[in-house]
Amino acid sequence: MRHTISLLVENKFGVLSRISGLFSGRGYNIESLSVGETIDPQISIMTIVTSGDDQIIEQITKQLNKLIDVIKVIDMTELDHVEREMVLIKVAPRHEDKAEVLRLAEIFRGRIVDSSQKTYTIEITGDEKKIEAIVELLKPMGIKEFVRTGKIAIAREGVKK
Amino acid sequence: MKMTGAEIFLESLKKEGVKYIFGYPGGVVLGIFDLLYDNKDIQLILTRHEQGAVHAADGYARSTGKPGVALVTSGPGATNTVTGLATAYMDSIPVIVFSGQVPTALIGNDAFQEADIVGISRPCTKYNYLVKDVKELSLIIKQTFYIATSGRPGPVLVDLPKDVTVSKTEFTWPELNIRSYKPTYEGNKWMISQAAHLIAKSKKPVILAGGGVVLSGASKELKELAEYTEIPVTMTLMGLGSFPGTHSLSLGMPGMHGTYYANKAIQESDMLIGIGVRFDDRVTGKIDAFAPHAKIIHIDIDPTSIRKNVRVDIPIVGDVRRVLLVLNKILKEEVKEQWSEVRKAWLKQIDEWKRERPLTYTYSDEVIKPQFVVEKIYELTKGDAIIATEVGQNQMWTAQFYKFDKPRMWLTSGGLGTMGYGFPAAIGAQIAHPNKLVIDIAGDGSIQMNIQELATAIVHKLPVKVAILNNHYLGMVRQWQELFFNERYSYSELYSHVVPDFVKVAEAYGAVGFRAIKPSEVEPVLKEAFKIKKTVFMDFIIDWKEKVYPMVPAGAPIDQMLFEEPKEKAEKKLKAVK
Ligand SMILES: Cc1cc2nc3c(=O)[nH]c(=O)nc-3n(C[C@H](O)[C@H](O)[C@H](O)COP(=O)(O)OP(=O)(O)OC[C@H]3O[C@@H](n4cnc5c(N)ncnc54)[C@H](O)[C@@H]3O)c2cc1C
Ligand SMILES: Cc1ncc(C[n+]2csc(CCOP(=O)(O)OP(=O)(O)O)c2C)c(N)n1
């Protein structure tokens, strides 16, 4: 099963490679990984999406906890939480599809962040389903480039699953 | 007073109680070496290869329980430590390597003798550091010793750029607080009490004791547990010596080359108490068929060891000694003895297995059997020697036929299986225990992997004894080729009954060399060697066809063992396993 794991880590040189090295060295999957500073600049937060059966996930969280620079490991999947991801999609529609692209962007509450004679770049934020949905719809219009941030997640306050 | 990084380095080591560094010089560490030249507190033991230095530090650590320290130069000096680090990492040994590095300004520029040793050693160290500022140096060194020796111990590497060792700062010896690293020492009381009740109810229990018992210094508590509850104990390769091998409750080693009765007992048991073990595949064999009827209690300080390989019914995270103190107390005060009757039947069954298939070999008058050499070494030392081994058959025969009664007298590379480990490790142990008899039981292949350390032993007047079980083959490889590759001995013959002449090699370095060809020569050679206060190589020309038995073929359940039997029979059994 798929799990979204949040990690609080020391914001130090080499920490990212310790974490990615753990995953590659032990043959665990990483579907996405995102990193950023927290309010405390000495601490970074990472969100990792990984998959495996219960035993593997248990090992992953234990192995992460064991790393000296890891302060806290939270398996978000076990909590009620909000997940978001942002994507930037550059579409190069045929002339007759241009209006449809703009309409789709609006329906999905996307923003046009760049446009040229031949292309629009749309910014979309949402959960996985939303992103998959717009990608499916835009595909026939001609997606030229596609970048995504990887997921970030945060627990909802006061509710336990 | 301001001090240079090099001065701070040595001052910090002194504060940590370091007396010996195993090392090798080179450009970027010459400043440190210069200070060592007239340092009164710390002596450098110059090895002849950096790998030797790290294994020596490892042998020092295993035999004393204190961290072993090595110092090497950048680039090739640093990369030569990798095997030593990986060896220590797999066996959870507190080894600390300080490597020189090119000046910080040059890092990343492919400078002369630059290697990214922090990157290279990351997966085979518990932690590592690149020191970027002399102001952090003393704190990093303090953290290094703490991390290496606390929790589940392990090697730590500290990379010291040259400019850090020459720049100056005020020396301070800071307090430690690593917020993200807090090992769990006390076991959960409720879990321990659950374990106590399960132990009381079990009819066919077995204790599986491992390296964690040695690391924790819990032999006394383990013996108390086993004797009080009358539970037989089997010790992994790393756990040998954690419980007396001569004890009536000892089952010897389990697993691939373990005893019949240890494996039988595990497979038949209704409860298995794993204490400081990591259920390695050499121990479990086919995992789904391992201890099929047993409830499993697992005590380990590292949560990742628990449920990594086997299912566990009662997990207890904590230090073995502290957990056993509580467990023994609960058993005595709350649960009380109630198992005497049921134990009788179980111990009788085990005795039957012991009688049915004891460890054996076929003695010969004509040709030396390796097991005979090990037995003689045991007899002559009365078990009171530090024994190192190399890797392969020599290691397994020693594990089987030498009875270890005390911890920290046994130095062997279990997890990584590093050929070339034993001799430098023996040197490190001899440095720590100048008056003890230290013996490396070697194969003719392995000994050639760090044979240059003869010079280190001679120069430091270390009376290390090396007993080479010379079968002129990579014996363990040959054994697999015989059993599983239709006797096609592809590139495993070494011709080392002729090349090299080990007696002459020893003599060339200024050591003493003996050779024994006939069984009758074994005892006189050993006696003579143990009498001499010098480094001795003993070349025992052994039966090259001898194999290590029992043997569980890789991937088979551990009670499907091969024994020393006529060949056809063995082959039939093999087929049944596949
Ligand atoms: C050629 C060859 C053949 C081999 N054949 C066999 C064989 O037949 N049988 C066999 O047993 N082995 C064999 N081995 C060795 C095997 O590969 C493993 O090294 C060994 O089984 C591991 O022993 P262990 O489980 O005791 O773990 P170790 O590697 O010693 O690990 C110690 C465990 O204890 C824990 N620990 C550490 N400190 C503490 C503490 N203070 N408190 C609590 N827990 C702690 C650690 O977290 C770890 O889980 C062989 C090796 C070689 C090279
Ligand atoms: C550095 C290293 N290379 C290769 C191996 C694989 N290997 C395991 S045992 C063995 C043979 C060891 O031969 P020898 O030292 O002569 O000992 P014997 O088995 O004959 O006692 C080899 C090559 C290893 N364990 N370590």
CA distance B313 to B298: 8
Binned at pLDDT 50, 70 and 90, residue B578 comes out as: very low
The answer to whether B454 touches B511, Cβ cutoff 8 Å, is yes
- Which burial class, exposed, middle or buried, applies to B366 when counting CB atoms under 10 A from its CB (0-12, 13-18, 19+)? exposed
Binned at pLDDT 50, 70 and 90, residue B565 comes out as: confident
Question: Which ligand is closest in space to the CA of residue B237?
Answer: 1
Is the CB of residue B444 below 6 angstroms from any atom belonging to ligand 2?
Answer: yes
Binned at pLDDT 50, 70 and 90, residue B308 comes out as: very high
Which chain B residues are within 8 Å of A12, Cβ to Cβ? Answer: none
The answer to whether A46 touches A7, Cβ cutoff 8 Å, is yes
CA distance B145 to B149: 6
Question: Which ligand is closest in space to the CA of residue B89?
Answer: 1
Is B304 within 8 Å of A59 when comparing Cβ atoms? yes
Q: How far off is chain A from B320, nearest CA to CA, in Å? A: 18
Per-residue pLDDT, averaged over B226-231, amounts to 98
Q: How far off is chain A from B280, nearest CA to CA, in Å? A: 16
Question: Pick from A9, A62, A68: which is nearest to B303 by CB?
Answer: A62
Residue found by looking up tokens 């952090």 in the block: B136
Q: Tell me, what's the pLDDT at B576?
A: 45
Among B404, B94, B135, residue whose Cα is nearest residue B246: B404
Residues of B annotated as catalytic are: 50, 112-113, 162, 476
Which of B180, B301, B306 to mutate to probe the A interface, most A CBs <10 Å? B180
Q: Tell me, what's the pLDDT at B426?
A: 99
Given the DSSP bridges, would you call strands A81-91 and A152-155 parallel, antiparallel or unpaired? antiparallel
The reply to whether B370-541 shares the fold of B189-356 is yes
Q: Tell me, what's the pLDDT at B499?
A: 94
Atom from ligand 2 closest to the CA of residue B496: 16
Per-residue pLDDT, averaged over B110-119, amounts to 97
What homologous superfamily is domain B2-170 in, according to CATH? Thiamin diphosphate (ThDP)-binding fold, Pyr/PP domains (3.40.50.970)
Is A66 within 8 Å of B303 when comparing Cβ atoms? yes
Q: Tell me, what's the pLDDT at A159?
A: 58
Q: Where are the domains of chain B?
A: 2-170, 189-356, 370-541
Tell me the per-residue pLDDT of B36-88, one tens digit each, with 9 for 90 and over: 999 999 999 999 999 999 999 999 999 999 999 999 999 999 999 999 999 99
Q: Tell me, what's the pLDDT at A158?
A: 78
The answer to whether B350 touches B267, Cβ cutoff 8 Å, is no
Residues in chain B: 578
Which chain A residues are within 8 Å of B144, Cβ to Cβ? Answer: none
- Which burial class, exposed, middle or buried, applies to B108 when counting CB atoms under 10 A from its CB (0-12, 13-18, 19+)? exposed
Which chain B residues are within 8 Å of A55, Cβ to Cβ? Answer: 307
CA distance B307 to A58: 9
Per-residue pLDDT, averaged over B432-437, amounts to 98
Is B122 touching A (CB cutoff 8 A)? Answer: yes
Is B123 within 8 Å of A25 when comparing Cβ atoms? yes
Is the CB of residue B92 below 6 angstroms from any atom belonging to ligand 1?
Answer: yes
CA distance A109 to A38: 27
Is A14 within 8 Å of B304 when comparing Cβ atoms? no
Which chain A residues are within 8 Å of B302, Cβ to Cβ? Answer: 66
Which chain B residues are within 8 Å of A21, Cβ to Cβ? Answer: 122-123
Per-residue pLDDT, averaged over A67-72, amounts to 97
Given the DSSP bridges, would you call strands B295-300 and B314-317 parallel, antiparallel or unpaired? parallel
The answer to whether A6 touches A46, Cβ cutoff 8 Å, is yes
What number of other Cβ atoms are within 10 A of residue B538's Cβ?
29
- Which burial class, exposed, middle or buried, applies to B313 when counting CB atoms under 10 A from its CB (0-12, 13-18, 19+)? middle
The pair phi, psi for residue B174, each rounded to 5°, is: -75, 165
Question: End-to-end distance of chain B based on CA atoms, in angstroms?
Answer: 71
Q: How far off is chain B from A158, nearest CA to CA, in Å? A: 26
Query: Which residue, judged by its Cα, is nearest atom 51 of ligand 1?
Result: B414
CA angle B304, B224, B246 (to 5 degrees): 95
pLDDT at B173 over 80: yes
Q: How far off is chain A from B392, nearest CA to CA, in Å? A: 26
Residues in chain A: 161
What number of other Cβ atoms are within 10 A of residue B92's Cβ?
24
Question: 3-state DSSP call for residue B476?
Answer: helix
Per-residue pLDDT, averaged over B245-249, amounts to 98
What number of other Cβ atoms are within 10 A of residue B302's Cβ?
20
How far is the centre of ligand 1, averaged over its atoms, from the C-alpha of B281 (Å)?
A: 10
Residue to mutate (ligand 1; options B92, B225, B240, B282; most atoms within 8 A of CB): B282
The pair phi, psi for residue B542, each rounded to 5°, is: -105, 170
pLDDT at B577 over 50: no
Question: Pick from B118, B127, B180: which is nearest to A71 by CB?
Answer: B180
pLDDT at A161 over 80: no
Per-residue pLDDT, averaged over B490-512, amounts to 97
The answer to whether B419 touches B390, Cβ cutoff 8 Å, is yes
The answer to whether B23 touches B44, Cβ cutoff 8 Å, is yes
The answer to whether B355 touches B430, Cβ cutoff 8 Å, is no
CA distance B298 to B310: 10
Contacts of A15 (CB under 8 A, 6+ apart): A9, A44, A69
- pTM to 2 decimals? 0.96
Atom from ligand 1 closest to the CA of residue B412: 53
Question: 3-state DSSP call for residue B441?
Answer: strand
- Find the DSSP H helices in B331-366: 340-356
Given the DSSP bridges, would you call strands A43-51 and A2-10 parallel, antiparallel or unpaired? antiparallel
Is B302 touching A (CB cutoff 8 A)? Answer: yes
DSSP B165-222: HHSEEE---PPP--TT-----SPPHHHHHHHHHHHHH-SSEEEEE-HHHHHHT-HHHH
Residue to mutate (ligand 2; options B446, B502, B549; most atoms within 8 A of CB): B446
Which chain A residues are within 8 Å of B122, Cβ to Cβ? Answer: 14, 17-18, 21
Is the CB of residue B375 below 6 angstroms from any atom belonging to ligand 2?
Answer: no
Question: Which ligand is closest in space to the CA of residue B494?
Answer: 2
DSSP for residue B367: S
Is A21 within 8 Å of B123 when comparing Cβ atoms? yes
Nearest chain A residue to B180, by CA? A71
Q: Report residue B181 as tokens.
A: 């690293």
Interface of A with B (CB under 8 A): 9-10, 13-14, 17-18, 21, 25, 55, 58-59, 62-63, 65-66, 68-71
Per-residue pLDDT, averaged over B448-458, amounts to 98
Choose which CATH entry (1.10.3720.10, 3.90.1170.50, 3.10.20.440, 3.40.50.970) describes domain B370-541: 3.40.50.970
Contacts of A117 (CB under 8 A, 6+ apart): none
CA distance B231 to B327: 14
Among B403, B380, B498, B511, residue whose Cα is nearest residue B452: B511
CA distance B439 to B461: 15
- Indicate the average pLDDT of chain A: 95
Per-residue pLDDT, averaged over B413-433, amounts to 98
Given the DSSP bridges, would you call strands B205-209 and B233-235 parallel, antiparallel or unpaired? parallel
Q: Tell me, what's the pLDDT at B571?
A: 52
Query: Which residue, judged by its Cα, is nearest atom 5 of ligand 2?
Result: B419
Residue found by looking up tokens 């013959």 in the block: B493
What number of other Cβ atoms are within 10 A of residue B116's Cβ?
15
The answer to whether B399 touches B262, Cβ cutoff 8 Å, is no
Q: How far off is chain A from B69, nearest CA to CA, in Å? A: 21
Using only C-alpha atoms, what is the Rg of chain B? 24
Residue found by looking up tokens 């192995």 in the block: A63
Is A68 within 8 Å of B308 when comparing Cβ atoms? no
The answer to whether B77 touches B100, Cβ cutoff 8 Å, is yes
Tell me the per-residue pLDDT of B74-95, one tens digit each, with 9 for 90 and over: 999 999 999 999 999 999 999 9
Among A110, A107, A130, residue whose Cα is nearest residue A120: A110
DSSP for residue B333: I
The answer to whether B165 touches B5, Cβ cutoff 8 Å, is yes
Among B472, B276, B505, residue whose Cα is nearest residue B370: B472
Tell me the per-residue pLDDT of B383-415, one tens digit each, with 9 for 90 and over: 999 999 999 999 999 999 999 999 999 999 999
Per-residue pLDDT, averaged over A110-135, amounts to 95
Which residues does residue B297 pair with via DSSP β-bridges, in sequence order? Answer: B273, B314
Cα–Cα distances in angstroms (integers) from residue B216 to residues B241, B275, B301, in the given order: 13, 11, 9
Residue found by looking up tokens 């627990």 in the block: A155
Q: Tell me, what's the pLDDT at B337?
A: 87
Q: Which CATH architecture has domain B189-356?
A: 3-Layer(aba) Sandwich (3.40)
Write out residues 124-183 of B within 8 Å (CB-CB) of A: 126-127, 130, 132, 147, 178-181
The DSSP element (H or E) to which A160 belongs, if any, is none
Is the CB of residue B445 below 6 angstroms from any atom belonging to ligand 2?
Answer: yes
Contacts of A58 (CB under 8 A, 6+ apart): B307
How far is the centre of ligand 1, averaged over its atoms, from the C-alpha of B282 (Å)?
A: 9
Question: Pick from A10, A13, A17: which is nearest to B180 by CB?
Answer: A10
Q: Tell me, what's the pLDDT at B566?
A: 57
Q: Tell me, what's the pLDDT at B336?
A: 87
